[in-house]
Amino acid sequence: MDANSITKVEGTYEIQVHTPMGVEQGTLELVLENGSLSGTITNKKGISEFTGGTVSGNEVTFNTKIKTPMGRLKASVAGVVEGNNFSGTAKLPLGSAKIEGKKIN
């Protein structure tokens, strides 16, 4: 895997998360350091941090606990970065949510 393909996933994305209760707006920040993916998901309920994620080419995976009206829920996120676009799925205890986003930084 070449370093240029890894670097392309890093950045800040404006995201929309399609949940059963409607679309949630937020930001996703992806940071790659020493081969490990970390970052934050920010929504109107607050900031959720994650570490220990992975990058393989333009694919990312990570686990986090997202703040929701029902408390913090574990989410396993798998996504793909193509150009400035992020698309993925968050697997949640009550189902899954589609994530779409565009790089803003």
Of 46, 45, 28, 26, the closest CA to residue 37 belongs to 28
Report the percentage of the chain scoring pLDDT > 70. 93
* The domain over range 3-103 is classified in CATH as 1.10.10.10: no
Q: What is the pLDDT of residues 43-80, one digit of tens each?
A: 888 899 999 999 999 999 999 998 777 778 899 999 99
Give the residue extent of every domain in the chain: 3-103
Looking at every residue in the chain, the average pLDDT score rounds to 89
pLDDT of residue 6: 46
What is the DSSP annotation of the chain? --HHHHHTT-EEEEEEEEETTEEEEEEEEEEEETTEEEEEEEETTEEEEEEEEEEETTEEEEEEEEEETTEEEEEEEEEEEETTEEEEEEEETTEEEEEEEEE--
